Structure 1
Amino acid sequence: MMIIRPLMASDADALLNLAYKAGVGFTSLPADPNHIAGKITASLSAFNSEVDFTTEQSYVFVMEDTHTNTVVGICGIESSIGLSSPWYSYRIGTLVHSSRELKVHNSFPTLYLSNDQTACAEVCTLFLDPDYRHSKNGQLLSKSRFLFLAQFAHRFEAKIIAEMRGVSDENGQSPFWDGLGAHFFDMPFADADHLTGLGKKEFIAQLMPRHPLYINLLPKAARDVIGEVHGNTLPARKMLEDEGFRYQGYVDIFDAGPTLETQVNDIRAVRESKNYLVKIEDHIPIGTVPYLISNTLLDGYRCTMVYIKVPESGPLCISSELASNLHVTALDTVRLVPLFSQRASA
């Protein structure tokens, strides 16, 4: 069984292994032992702290294969971003140049360096071991966060975003970086990306131009990837869009990957999830619809996927094995929601 649980101190080596598999461009999990140690410390603190919107609280989860006790995936939620250090993105806008005398009227798409998404929550750090990209594991890993958001919405800002990985080649080279960033930063894309992942963002403000940048002046290769995602990220983008996230014209300043956004309460899995009392039975009929199911604990959070028949009223019957993996007993409460929206499964 695949179980989603909070990150633990003993997961450091497993996270480093996942970071190496993720490669260049996965800025939220660089292959750096010190950064990983800091991520673990921050996550443990978030799960054991009171709500505090004056600082970021970072909730990190891992997917564990209970048959092998192996950590095979990671995902996270930030309660709020851009408070301890600036949060930068490009906002795509428009500048109009016109001359009545010459009868010329032109509109030009532009990039504006912005901090507009400061104090938003963020779903982040999503990566699944390639060997486990089957059996709906990716959907479980990503959407498990939404049941946590539904149960603990008071810990997060009302608006939430998701940065998508932008286009880069097999060598980790970004066309957008080559066409723009490389002219202002005297370093390769991988180095700048790595520094950002480590939280060293001061150089962005120091070196990036503050005036609007005309997209038409960029090389075609750079223009073509603005708002586009890496091939490996296409399923993640579709998944988020099926849950209600939308692209609103904000892109990453390094690879121009799109940022998707919505309100926490508008996420389909948050909005449709329900709580049920637990009844434990040995022989449970198997349903035809996959559901996300989680307990309602904070630091003891557990979530998995199950094919189950859901009653119209009354308690939810689950097996003793599932109850054990979710750390629940009879008359405890679980939260449940279909894994897919009706639109996505149609």
Structure 2
Amino acid sequence: MMVVRLIQADDHEALRELARKTGPGFTSLQDNDEQVAAKLSSALQTFDPETRPEDALYLFVMEDTETGEVVGISGIEAAVGLNDPWYNYRVGTLVHASRELEVYNQLHTLTITNDHTGYSELCTLFLAPDARHSKHGSLLSKSRFMFMAEFSHLFNEHLIAEMRGYSDENGISPFWEGLGRHFFSLDFSEADKLSSMDKVFIAELMPKNTIYTNLLPEDAQQAIGQTHQNTTPARKLLENEGMRYTGYVDIFDGGPTLVARTDDIRAIQDSHYVKARIDEHPPEGELYLVSSNDFKDFRCCMTALTSVGKHVVTLTPDVAEALNITEGSTVRVVPLSSGRRF
């Protein structure tokens, strides 16, 4: 069984191993000792009484309860852009027209913005390749919504998620090659790595004026708003929960930024409390997310549930143990799939 829980200090080696598998363009968890250590430190510091709520980074790991192996990670930034600037491009349209010449052209543009400053962000979603089955990705991603539903006061009313942009089989980003390289004089992987550690150089080197996309190479234009093939399932999952692409893209690889009102997310909106009844006989039925309501020991599992009245559900002892709950404990539940509601 898989359980999603908050990261702990002794997860460092597991986090480092996951970072070795992420690949180019995965900005928030790179194959870099310094970045991994800094990320873990930030996550642990979240629970320091001196840490402001808006500075919190909630990191979760997915653990196989049978082997103890950590096979995935996901995170939530409480607010972006309050300490370091948060940049992306807004895709817009300018019209150039002349009645006399009978010319009317709609041209797409890119404008650097900080429009999402203060928004909460879903981040750092990565599942080890050999664990990408049995809906583990859905559990890893959507468990964050259960945490946000439980502790909604910690998050902004708006939520974003940056999707990794398109790159070819060699890890080359056509968007970067067509635009970013001209201003940064760096390989994509190097610029991406630097951006995860220090964003000051972005403000110093990025073009300040509006960019006409028709001046970019054709493959760079085509990459705007497109998702890396390994990230497409994660994008579809978030879109099924209510997040949408609204014309904002990453400044490095052109990947789409998905946006939603936090309360409009299906799993947040539809989740609710029930009491746990523990029984040896495994229930049959639809898959659900089930989470505990302990802040520092938050846990979330995926299991089939048979509703027993309006306010009680039956859980197996294995699920109860994974959630660290007992008979009669209050848990939060929601259908795993957005196709059907409770």
**Range with bigger deviation, 92-101 or 214-223:** 92-101
Deviations, residues 197-245 of structure 1 (Å, cap 9, x unaligned): 22x1111111111110000010001011100000111111110000000
What does residue range 109-188 of structure 1 map to in structure 2 within 5 Å? 109-188=108-187
The Cα shift of 1:186 comes to: 1.0
Find the counterpart in structure 1 of residue 194 from structure 2.
195
Amino acid at match of 1:333: T
Offset, 1:193: 0.5
Deviations 1:232-271 (A, max 9, x none): 1111111000000000000000100000010111000001
Q: Which residue of 2 aligns with 1:37?
A: 37
Partner SS, residue 172 of structure 2? coil
Structure 1 residues 307-316 or 131-140, which shifts more?
307-316
Describe the SS at the equivalent of 1:25.
Answer: coil
1:335 partner amino acid: R
Give the TM-score, by structure 1 length.
0.95
Q: 1:58 to 1:339 in 2, by over 3 A?
A: same
Q: Which amino acid aligns with 1:40?
A: L
Residue 35 of structure 1, CA deviation: 1.8
Question: Is contact 2:166-2:253 (8 Å) kept?
Answer: yes
Q: What does residue 291 of structure 1 align with?
A: 288
Kindly provide the amino acid, as one letter, of the partner of residue 237 in structure 1.
Answer: R
Structure 1: gaps (5+ residues): none
* Deviation digits for residues 289-343 of structure 1 (CA, Å, limit 9, x no counterpart): 1111110111101111001202232422222221111011122210000000117
**1:326 corresponds to which of 323, 326, 336:** 323
3-state SS of 2:295 partner: coil
SS at 2:110 equivalent: strand
User: Quick check: 1:47–1:298 contact (8 Å CA) kept in 2?
Assistant: no
In the alignment, structure 1 residue 263 sits paired with structure 2 residue 232: no
Q: For structure 1, which segment, 14-23 or 36-45, has the greater mean C-alpha deviation from structure 2 after superposition?
A: 36-45
Alpha-carbon RMSD across the aligned residues, in angstroms, is: 1.5
Match of 2:335 among 321, 334, 338: 338
**Identity value in percent:** 50
Q: Deviations over 1:80-122 (max 9, x none)?
A: 0001100000000111222344333322110000000111000
The answer to whether 1:238 aligns with 2:215 is no
Cα distance in 1, alignment partners of residues 94 and 208 from structure 2: 15
SS of residue paired to 1:106: strand
Structure 1 residues 38 and 136: alpha-carbon distance in aligned structure 2, compared to 1, 3 A threshold: same
2:19–2:36 CA contact under 8 A, matched in 1: no
Matched, 1:7 2:15: no
Higher mean displacement: 312-321 or 16-25:
312-321
Which one-letter code corresponds to 1:209 in the other structure?
P
Determine if contact 1:295/1:334 at 8 Å carries over to the other structure: yes
Structure 1 residue 247 and structure 2 residue 245: aligned? yes
1:16 is paired with a residue whose SS is: helix
Mapped partners of 1:52, 1:16: distance in 2 = 27
Per-residue deviation, 1:45 = 2.3
Shift of 1:48: 4.7
Q: 1:64-103, aligned counterparts within 5 Å?
A: 64-103=63-102
Give the residue type in structure 1 aligned to 2:236.
Answer: K
Deviations 1:13-36 (A, max 9, x none): 111111111111110001222222
Distance 1:327 1:33 in 2: 32
Question: For 2:87 and 2:126, how far apart are their aligned partners in 1?
Answer: 22
**Residues 300 and 232 (structure 1), Cα distance of their counterparts in 2 relative to 1, 3 Å cut:** same
Provide the residue aligned with 1:282 in structure 2. 280
> 1:44 deviation in Å?
1.8
- Label 1:7 to 1:205 Cα distance change in 2 as closer, same or farther (>3 A): same
